[in-house]
Amino acid sequence: MQVLQVQLEVGPDPAEVGRARRWARSRLAGSGIRDDEPLAETLVLLISELVTNAVVHTGCPAVLRMLFAAEGGVRVEVADASDRPPQPRHAQGDDTNGRGLELVDGLADRWGWQPEGAGKSIWCEVDRAAPVGTPPTSSVSPGRVPC
C-alpha cells in the first residue's frame, strides 16, 4: 500500500482553523479528490472539527496530517502537545459546543486517539468508495472518549 503524507503546522489560535481548511482543500484537489465530491466536504468538516478541538481545548500548537492511500482512502491526524486524553462531553439542547467528536464518529469510517511523543494524536479515516449500502465500520482505540 503506497501512502502520500502531507502536513501543516497549526498555531494555537482559533483563526488557524480556517487556514487549515483552505490548506486541506488544496491538498485534496492535488490528490485527485475534486472539490465537488461529497468526500471532500466530509474531510474538510472532519479536519475543521479535529483542528478546532486541538486548538481550543489544549491551547497548544498542533500538526495536521493527511495521508492518502493508493486505494483511495484518506486518514486525517491532528497531533498536539497535550497529554490529556479526550474527555467525555455530551451537548444538551442549545449548547454551542460538545458535539465535535460525536460528529467525527458519525462521519468517519473509523477514528480514535493514541499517545504520540509527549502529547497525543486524534485520527480518523474515510474510505473513498465504500459499496452502496455498506455501513461504516468502527475501529476505535480503547479509551476513546469525546472531548
* Gyration radius of the chain's alpha carbons: 15
User: Which tens digits make up the pLDDT trace of 88-117?
Assistant: 577 667 655 667 888 898 999 999 999 999
Q: Is 35 exposed, middle or buried (0-12, 13-18, 19+ CB in 10 A)?
A: exposed
What is the model's pLDDT at position 100?
A: 80
User: Which tens digits make up the pLDDT trace of 16-42?
Assistant: 999 999 999 999 999 989 988 999 999
pTM of the model: 0.81
pLDDT over 70 at 141, yes or no: no
Site of grid cell 485534496: 28
